[in-house]
Amino acid sequence: MKLSLFLFLLIIPFLSHAQLVNDFIKENYPTRFYFESQRMLMFRSLSPNEDFLNVPLQERANEQALGLWSQQLGICMGLGKHLYLDGGVAWMQNGEAYEFKDLLSDSTYNYQTRYRYLSMPLQLKLTFGNQIKLYGGIGLIPSLYQNYRQDIQWTNALGAQYDDQININNAMNGFILSYMTSGGLDIQLDNFYNLRLGMIYRAQFTNSFGLYEDYIHKSKGWGFQFGFSKKL
């Protein structure tokens, strides 16, 4: 009984100190809820799968970058004077495009491919400043594959226009892992709301396609992000 009382009295100062630290962090580095949009110029690295059939890239070697939107909801938690943990849930898009025109017949063939994911970005951010904060971050993005969309447009030699859409691709990997870096400004608008403006780069570690598919595909891209946050 005496030992229990002694331990209880010994722990009280540590608990009080921990509570003071927690209150200080909440007051000076509050948790913020945010919504953010990203406009990304996405492309990919693409190579034959040498461990399978080693199929040449052919016309896929001429694919181009594609502009895409992604959105994110998240929470940014203060861990100290300059350190924040930023995490959330995102609707993320990767993709590429292709354009072909036959100079002899004026026929064309174009497509835009989108790979869509439910993602869980997690970043550590360093911030400097008061009402206008400069930040930089690095983190990981685990993502679950959701759906595929390829919009196709073509014209024949007579100028007739056609279009189609493909929504099934059984070659996709169900999970991918990417990394990201970001930097920008966090601008205080009033006592509750902030404006977030920045740049972001992200790239895949893992293959978009399955192990026994023709190609090794890894999306990458950069762009700008903007959004608003609210103090909780």
pLDDT by 10-residue block (mean), the chain, 232 residues: 49 48 55 97 96 93 97 95 95 98 93 98 96 96 98 94 96 97 97 96 98 96 97 92
pTM (whole model) above 0.75? yes
Per DSSP, what are the bridge partners of residue 183? 136, 199
| pLDDT value of position 12 | 52
Long-range contacts of 125-129 (CB under 8 A, 24+ apart): 125/76, 125/83, 125/84, 125/85, 125/86, 125/182, 126/82, 126/83, 126/84, 127/82, 127/83, 127/84, 127/186, 128/82
- Can you tell me the distance from the alpha carbon of 29 to that of 21, in angstroms, rounded to the nearest whole number? 11
| pLDDT value of position 13 | 52
| pLDDT value of position 81 | 87
| pLDDT value of position 30 | 82
| pLDDT value of position 20 | 43
| pLDDT value of position 1 | 55
| pLDDT value of position 35 | 97
